[in-house]
Amino acid sequence: KILFWDTNGFWLYYRRLEQGRFQWPKQTNEHTAMGIEQRQLQWLLSGLPVSNQTRHPTLSGLSVM
């Protein structure tokens, strides 16, 4: 569940996996909030682990003939 404030109210986002569990990263201190990047949130919502994930490098100058 994600609680998001938008201008004049909250949105509640809810997602359920049909099988398995979301692979939420381990927190060092359970009393503090943990920040994640947008792409990490996308990975989580897709059922992928956040730890040890790196994106493919951006390529430029490629052409298809």
Average pLDDT over residues 28-43: 79
Between 54 and 18, residue with greater pLDDT: 18
Q: What is the pLDDT of residue 53?
A: 60
Q: Determine the distance from the C-alpha atom of residue 50 to the mean position of all C-alpha atoms in its chain, rounded to a whole number.
A: 7
**Helix spans in the chain (H):** 38-45
User: Quick one: which of 30, 40, 31 has its CA closest to 2?
Assistant: 40
pLDDT tens-digit readout, 36-65: 888 888 887 777 777 766 666 666 776 776
Average pLDDT over residues 17-30: 73
DSSP lists the bridge partners of residue 13 as 2
User: Quick one: which of 23, 25, 26, 30 has its CA closest to 46?
Assistant: 23
